[in-house]
A and B are shown apart, each in its own frame.
Chain A
């Protein structure tokens, strides 16, 4: 499948997890696509960790406001229900459990729901920004990522080998191949992507998956 199709498939599936009225923080990159695929009648409030609620669509270049950017520094708009605040309030909203769902990418996720997505030893470091607070604070943590690395190695592993972003916080993993719920006793495969087989998902995963073949959904 082409790269873009994979990303769209993941984004569409993640969008089904969001409910009307949810306060949601979408990570930089692919997670931001999720906002394009919300179900009919579902309206969410997007949180931007640089200090506002109610992120609206990207403006036309000539209408960009120098003071209104998203957490990636890109110009955005603010919706009419929006409001602005300082960084302490922004992270009180995050850490205090007032964000219903956050959607983030990952380098590795493991059987305990540990997440590594902020640094690779030996590679130039960029810093964690707001990622550690988001993963600790949001009520539901969805990891949206391609199932495997570009070289084919597993990103879903028995135990993370990279430095952690947070311990045991991930709730759901959505990839181009599968939907996997993280429970206390391990990873539960609940859905597979159309055109994918269970055997392919198991082979592509570096951790044990629990599932019942009769109850697997298809997305």
Chain B
């Protein structure tokens, strides 16, 4: 059985300087309750790994509004004007990464891999400072794995063992991040009894999940 708690209890051990992965794509599939709890707690100097900084007042955008991040690994900041401004002024270190590379870095982090080789970014500013490896006459960039202290995720339903299913485009980075963090906290819309989700339909195995929070 996975422990079920409130959002505030779930984030209580997140401390200054930690690295946090947060699921979602422009706020869809982001655990709003957990992000809000982290905003309320006010922990600063966080390194965040997430697809995008969403919009002001939405999803990860709330942590941009409250200036709790010191480093951000992401693919897109165009929805939140403050992210671009903070990057220009040096208030926030932003590592912009192609979205497919970011997904694979996280997957590698959770899969025991030493990185991945991708053709994406060759011949662009993305290749700067990275090792290039030629395989069968094609050039690839070595992209290193990403891991985190905590993952804050959103799923549609969990059973009491933490097995997860998602809805539509709210899945995105969540199943990948579930594998790549030491502590995995998942906000779900519904918690059902064991066996209520067919084993064949489980997307994220419950063994990855540490805490469940009932959200909306």
Chain A residues with a Cβ under 8 A of chain B? 48-52, 65-69, 71-73, 78, 84-88, 90-91, 94-95, 114, 124-133, 136-137, 163-168
Closest to B85 in A: A124
With a cutoff of 8 Å between Cβ atoms, the chain A residues found around residue B129 in the complex are none
A124 touches B88 (CB 8 A): yes
> Please, which residues of chain B bring their CB within 8 A of the CB of A136?
119-122
Of the residues A71, A73, A130, contact of B100 by C-beta under 8 Å: A130
Task: Report if B208 contacts A (CB, 8 A).
Answer: no
Q: Is residue B81 within 8 Å, beta carbon to beta carbon, of the partner chain?
A: yes
Chain B residues near A73 (CB-CB < 8 A): 25-28, 79
Given contacts A130-B98, A132-B120, A166-B123, contact A88 B176 (CB under 8 A): yes
> Contacts A69-B28, A126-B78, A126-B84 known; A48 to B101 CB distance under 8 Å?
no
One of A50, A128, A166 near B169 (C-beta < 8 A): A50
CB-defined contacts of A130 to chain B, threshold 8 Å = 75, 98-100
B157: A residues at CB distance < 8 A: none
Contact of B123 with A164 in the complex, beta carbons under 8 Å: yes
Q: Is the CB of B76 within 8 A of A87?
A: no
Question: With the chains together, A90 CA to B173 CA distance in Å?
Answer: 10
Convert B17-44 into 0s and 1s, putting 1 for each residue whose CB lies closer than 8 angstroms to a CB of A. Answer: 0000000011111000000000000000
Q: Is the CB of A132 within 8 A of B167?
A: no
Contact-residue size bin, chain B (C-beta under 8 Å from the other chain): 35 or more
Q: Complex Cα distance A168/B138, Å?
A: 14
Q: Which residues of A contact B170 (CB under 8 A)?
A: 66-67
CB distance from A28 to the nearest CB of B (A): 10
Bound-complex Cα distance A78 to B170 (A) = 13
Contact call B172/A50, Cβ cutoff below 8 A: yes
B103 touching A165, Cβ below 8 Å: no
The 10 closest A-B pairs by CB, nearest first: A126-B78, A91-B100, A167-B123, A133-B100, A73-B26, A87-B103, A127-B76, A67-B170, A124-B84, A132-B98
7 pairs from A and B in contact (CB 8 Å cutoff):
A50-B28, A78-B168, A88-B104, A91-B99, A95-B120, A164-B125, A166-B123
Which residues does chain A contribute within 8 Å of B100, judged by CB atoms? Answer: 87, 90-91, 94-95, 130, 132-133, 137
Knowing A86-B176, A129-B76, the reply to whether A67 touches B169 (Cβ < 8 A) is: yes
Q: Mark B178-216, 1 if CB is under 8 A from A, else 0.
A: 000000000000000000000000010000000000000
B98, B122, B167 pick with most chain A CB within 10 angstroms: B98
Cβ contact within 8 Å between B168 and A132: no
Complex interface: chain A residues within 8 A of B168 (CB): 51-52, 65, 67-68, 78, 84
A86 & B119 in contact (Cβ 8 Å cutoff) = no
Q: In this assembly, does B162 line the interface, its C-beta being within 8 Å of a C-beta of chain A?
A: no
Closest to A94 in B: B100
B78 near A67: Cβ-Cβ < 8 Å: no
Query: A91–B121 contact, CB under 8 A?
Result: no
Residue B107 lies at the interface, judged by CB distance under 8 Å to chain A: yes
Least Cβ–Cβ distance between A131 and chain B, in angstroms: 8
Alpha-carbon separation in the docked complex, A88 to B107 (Å): 7
| CB <8 Å contact, A51 and B172 | yes
Instruction: Determine the distance from Cα of A85 to Cα of B166 in the docked complex, in whole angstroms.
Output: 9
Contact (Cβ within 8 A) B75 A52: no
